[in-house]
Amino acid sequence: MTKHFDEAYRILAANDRGGYTVPTDRLYPFQWNWDSAFVAMGFATFDIDRAYRELERLTEGQWADGMIPHIVFHQPSDTYFPGPDVWRTSHTIPTSGITQPPVFGMALRAVHEAAEKAGTKNAKARTLALFQAGLKWHRWWYKARDPDGTGLVALLHPWESGSDNSPAWDIALARVPTTTDTAVVRKDTGHVDAAMRPRDEDYRRFIHLVDTYAACGWDPVKQWEKTPFKVAEVQTTGILLKAGEDLEHIAKSLGLEAEAQELANYNDLTHKALLAQWRPELSRFVSRDLISGEDIEAPTQAGFIPLLGLDLGGGMVDAAVAEMKLWSNDMKVAFPTTKPFVESWEPKRYWRGPAWAIINWLLIDGLNRNSQPEMAEALRLSTVNAIEKEGFAEYFDPTTGEGCGGLGFSWTAAAYLWLS
């Protein structure tokens, strides 16, 4: 056991680039948004100062309008595409122009509570500054990504979901042209097997969207009007709700009554909106394609992530858990990010089927919240065992347990520390 802890610490130290952690060397040489939130929670288990630092360095990239970008390019590197020259965001510290799931608020609460418990010096001031950044970001989500006030937030790029090439995007992404103004010069397939990565056609569509938004000068209103890809998404919204609750909790503990009320209002709205996305015939939640107006029924892990922020009634939670068991029963490692054996399922290809430690972490939290300790424990053990057997891989083939993608991966190390 100790051996694996040491390895997790070693990976986080090796991926440290000066107060922030790259997901893994070369394949992802910058600071990624939700990766850093998970990593901060990992740090909170043994180094509270470093945990705060991770979040503080991420907020260095925050935009004036509140968005925290999905990548902060603190230092140059030529091992990744697309770099700052493609994003053209003209932010003081170069950043991408899109965002990622707001795990930040969840991480801040975890770090804050660890600091309180340990009696860490300056903890309150550090929490307060990060809280303000988090609140600004949540305001941005509701203003920029839910201008109609529905309570569900929309993604304008598959990269914003963190589940880049998920089958959930197949129909919506097919409407995005494959033409680009920018040459697509992939670097990822030079680091890992192309069969484990998104397809070239996906990349051309990803870059078409980047070109479109750069031409809008990254103005959220213009992007909302011009985009061919707009999805009100349940994984991101579920995370937003849980993070919103955690920020509300912090506001109360800091005596910030007005801020706590503002967050409570957002959370109420989103709570109702998410519940309305439950589909009894599918036993899971569904996202909505805002261009076609249709439900996205592709069976992916996103359908269960809302458990994180909701307290479901008995019938609903039993149905969700029965469905989750169906997906994971015959797997060596749970939880598959696409329902096994459906046509779009590819157990080795990135977000089209593999098991990811951080997704399991979110599902475990959601199951525990909804009084499902047995399933939560099974998932926890599956995750820890997979890592102990195969190492700290980016993700795992659920059919064989094989570690895939990048190795020495930061969020897998953080998940191990948190879940062990």
Q: Which of 354, 351, 379, 353 is nearest to 364 (CA)?
A: 379
Task: Return the number of the residue (164 or 289) whose C-beta is nearest ligand 2M8.
Answer: 164
Pair 392, 7: CB distance under 8 Å: yes
Backbone angles phi, psi at 198, to 5 degrees: -60, 160
Going by C-beta distance under 8 Å and a sequence separation of 6 or more, which residues neighbour residue 288? 152, 231, 232, 277, 294, 295, 296
125 alpha-carbon distance from chain centroid: 27
Quick one: which segment of 26-34, 55-63, 309-317, 378-386 binds ligand 2M8 (CB under 6 A)? 26-34
In the complex with ligand 2M8, the residue whose CB is nearer, 266 or 396, is 396
Closest distance of CB 206 from ligand 2M8, Å: 8
Q: What tokens were used for 162?
A: 């963190």
Q: Closest CB to ligand 2M8 among 166 and 283? A: 166
Mark the segment that binds ligand 2M8 (CB under 6 A) among 43-51, 113-121, 128-136, 158-166. Answer: 158-166
Question: Nearer to ligand 2M8 by C-beta: 211 or 323?
Answer: 211
Residue 196 CB, nearest approach to ligand 2M8 (Å): 11
Q: Is 339 in the site for ligand 2M8 (CB under 6 A)?
A: no
Residue with tokens 């051996």: 3
Within 175-214, the residues that bind ligand 2M8 by CB under 6 A are 188
Can residue 396 be called a binding residue for ligand 2M8 (CB under 6 A)? no
One character per residue 222-261, x = contact with ligand 2M8 (rule: CB under 6 A): ----------------------------------------
Q: What does the alpha-carbon distance between residue 324 and residue 303 come to, in Å, rounded to a whole number? A: 10
User: In the complex with ligand 2M8, which residue's Cβ is closer, 139 or 187?
Assistant: 187
Binding mask 62-91 for ligand 2M8 (x = CB under 6 A): --------x---------------------
Task: Report the catalytic residues.
Answer: 164, 394
- Give the DSSP H/E element, type plus range, for residue 396: strand 395-396
Pick out residues in 28-47 that bind ligand 2M8 (CB under 6 A): 28, 32, 34-35
Q: What's the closest the beta carbon of residue 151 comes to ligand 2M8, in angstroms?
A: 24
CB of 248 to ligand 2M8, least distance (A): 26
Contact flag: residue 94 with ligand 2M8 (CB under 6 A): no
Q: Give the CA distances from residue 246 to residues 63, 107, 135, 418, in Å, rounded to whole numbers and listed in that order.
A: 22, 9, 11, 18
Q: At 231, give phi and psi (nearest 5°).
A: -125, 120
Alpha carbon distance 161, 173 (integer Å): 13
159 binds ligand 2M8 (CB under 6 A): yes
Check residue 164 for interaction with ligand 2M8 (CB under 6 A).
yes
- The gap from C-alpha 43 to its chain's centroid, in whole angstroms, comes to 18
What's the CA gap between 312 and 366, in Å, rounded?
Answer: 10
Among 12, 21, 23, 120, binds ligand 2M8 (CB under 6 A): 23
Residues 394, 406 contacting (CB under 8 angstroms): yes
Asked if 160 interacts with ligand 2M8 (CB under 6 A), we say no
Q: Is 162 in the site for ligand 2M8 (CB under 6 A)?
A: yes
Distance CA 205, CA 201 (A): 6
**In whole angstroms, what is the distance from residue 245 CA to residue 133 CA?**
15
Start-to-end CA distance of the chain, whole Å, equals 9
- Site residues (vs ligand 2M8, CB under 6 A): 23, 28, 32, 34-35, 70, 159, 162, 164, 188
